[in-house]
Amino acid sequence: MATVSQSTRLKVLFFGRLKDLIGQAEDSVNSADAATIEQLFAHYAARNPELAKYRPSLVASRNQEFVAWDTPLHPGDEVAFLPPVSGG
Amino acid sequence: MTTTPSYNDVCQLVREPIDVPALIRHVRAPEDGAIVTFDGFVRNQSHNRPTLYLDYEAYESMALAKMREIAAELHEQFSIHCVAIVHRLGRLEIGETSVFIAVSAPHRAAAFDACRFAIDTLKRTVPIWKKEYFEDGAVWADGELPPAPAATSHAKPAS
């Protein structure tokens, strides 16, 4: 509903087995909590240690482009953690 | 960033059965001489385990963007006329089409090459996932890890 200052937030999306593991498809975190994709992942891995073992078999996207783990994040960014894709 | 020319391409994610004849009609034009299609459908087993059904999900906005990138790349690389790429999401039963690609071209070689390139690239780069349902449970299918940059150009030392 009413959104409070979305611009200070990061939108975070989880798909496939990650969604099952995290227990939610979408989250929102304060952009001050993560300067890079790697730090954002660490933020979730700290709360869910199981997640860390998936790290080698994931890619990340920022604003719908595949990006490196050291990519800086900015308020308003949409980040997704993506398991190996299996469409087709 | 390249601007997208105004080809009459179709890139869609759908939740109802894919209308294959309509897509073939869509890409077909008088200046063409060939259409090559790829029809990917649900197999009745996976690694010799009988499959009950599949459930597909996507990062929809990004998947559509990546499908459009594939279509644009086909026009850059191959002498083709028009492309249709449609993927279905949700629950699919055995034998139902999950992905359909049609490429029209003046000559067959370009249509074959482009269609093969399109499905191979889709399977590697488009964020879609399938969950396989069996008698005794469900698993996310093994997939391919999309290529991503190893580090940004202004990389800091790894932490």
Quick one: DSSP state of residue B15? S
Of A70, A82, A88, the CB nearest to B59: A82
Q: In this model, does residue B6 exceed pLDDT 90?
A: no
pLDDT (tens, 9 = 90+) of chain A, 88 residues, equals 555 555 799 999 999 999 999 999 999 999 999 999 999 999 999 999 999 999 999 999 999 999 999 999 999 999 999 999 999 9
| A85 with B56: Cβ contact below 8 A | no
Comparing CB atoms, the residue among A20, A64, A84 nearest residue B143 is A84
| Domain limits, chain B | 10-135
Whether residues A15 and B59 touch (CB distance < 8 A) is answered with yes
Identify the closest residue of chain A to B90 by CA–CA distance: A87
* Cβ-based burial of B102 (10 A; exposed 0-12, middle 13-18, buried ≥19): buried
Cβ-defined contact of A87 to B123 (cutoff 8 Å): yes
**pLDDT grade, residue B129 (50/70/90)?**
very high
List the single residue in A13, A17, A59 with the smallest CB-CB distance to B146: A59
What is the reported pLDDT for A15? 97
Chain A residue with minimal CA distance to B130?
Answer: A86
Q: How confident is the model at residue B7 (pLDDT cuts 50, 70, 90)?
A: confident
Residue linked to tokens 């109802």: B16
Q: Is B90 part of the contact surface with chain A (CB cutoff 8 Å)?
A: no
Cβ pair B60, B3 in contact under 8 A: no
Query: Could you give the maximum distance between any two Cα atoms of chain B, in Å?
Result: 59
**CATH architecture designation of domain B10-135:** Alpha-Beta Complex (3.90)
Query: For chains A and B, what is the number of CB pairs under 8 angstroms?
Result: 102
User: Are B127 and A84 inside 8 Å of each other by CB?
Assistant: no
Whether B64 contacts chain A with CB within 8 A: no
Whether the model pTM is above 0.95: no
Other Cβ atoms less than 10 A from the Cβ of B132: the count is: 22
Distance CA B153, CA B34 (A): 44
Give the architecture (CATH level 2) of A7-82.
Roll (3.10)
